[in-house]
Structures are given as C-alpha cells and as structure tokens.
C-alpha cells in the first residue's frame, strides 16, 4: 500500500466513524450517547493519523491520545483545541470503562451533539490528500 493509499484509507475510516456516530445520535437513545462520544474520538484519531501519514510520509504512531498526535503533527492550535482533545480522549476511555455516574453526567445528548459538531468541524479543516 502506498502512502497515498494509506492516507485515503484512514480518511475514509474517519468519515465512516463520523457517519456511525451520527447514526447512533439519530436513534435518540440515551444509552447510545456514550457510543457517539467514542466514535467521535475514533473519527478524530483516524483523521489525525491520516494527516500524520500525509505530512510525515511514514506510518502513524500507535496512540489514541489526540493531543499526542496533534503535537507530533506540530499543529498550530490553541488552548481550546488542546482542552477539547483532552476531553474527548477522556470521554473515549470512559465511554468504555466509566461507571453509572459518569454516564449519567457525561454521556448526554448535549455532549453527543457538541462533539458531533466539533468532530465535523475539525475533520473538515484537514486538507485533502
């Protein structure tokens, strides 16, 4: 697989994860909002990894930490994006392992909708391969 094919693959996977997050959100099922957060994180992770391959011309690193990926890309970003990436990275972990209190407080329609919008915006900002 060429680097361009790898970039295209990761970009398609990112788009598919975002599509999955949207489909889960549209179910309007409170039990699925944690899954929306998880898939938003995964879409961002895959999008950042596509950018990494594109810019560094090498395989993406094995990490799920969005701030680590953004730092490796030397993205010109502010404190807000850093805080956002920390939040959604934590949400991805806790959407899998969080307790009932976490789910009732964080896996909400408000957070799911917010992260769908943020994920769409961030992915749209990435330059095409």
Question: 66: domain CATH number?
Answer: 1.20.120.330
Distance between CA atoms of residues 40 and 112, nearest Å? 9
pLDDT at 7 over 80: yes
pTM greater than the 0.85 cutoff: yes
Supply the DSSP symbol for 27.
T
Contact between 63 and 69 (Cβ < 8 Å): yes
Distance between CA atoms of residues 12 and 50, nearest Å? 9
The H or E element that residue 77 is part of is: none
Residue 126 banded pLDDT, cuts 50, 70, 90: confident
Say whether 102 sits in a helix, a strand or coil: helix
Q: Structural domain of residue 47, as residue ranges?
A: 3-125
State how many domains the chain has: 1
Contact between 120 and 19 (Cβ < 8 Å): no
pLDDT at 128 over 70: no
Distance between CA atoms of residues 32 and 95, nearest Å? 10
pLDDT at residue 127, as a whole number? 55
């Amino acid at each position: 697989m060429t680097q361009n094919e790898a970039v295209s693959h990761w970009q398609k996977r990112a788009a598919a994860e975002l599509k999955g997050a949207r489909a889960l959100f549209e179910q309007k099922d409170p039990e699925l909002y944690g899954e929306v957060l998880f898939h938003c994180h995964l879409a961002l992770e895959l999008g950042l990894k596509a950018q990494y391959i594109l810019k560094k011309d090498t395989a993406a690193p094995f990490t799920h930490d969005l701030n680590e990926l953004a730092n490796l890309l030397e993205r010109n970003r502010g404190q807000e994006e850093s805080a956002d990436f920390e939040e959604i990275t934590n949400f991805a972990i806790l959407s899998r392992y969080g307790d009932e209190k976490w789910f009732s407080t964080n896996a909400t329609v408000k957070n799911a909708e917010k992260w769908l919008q943020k994920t769409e915006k961030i992915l749209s900002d990435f330059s095409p391969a």
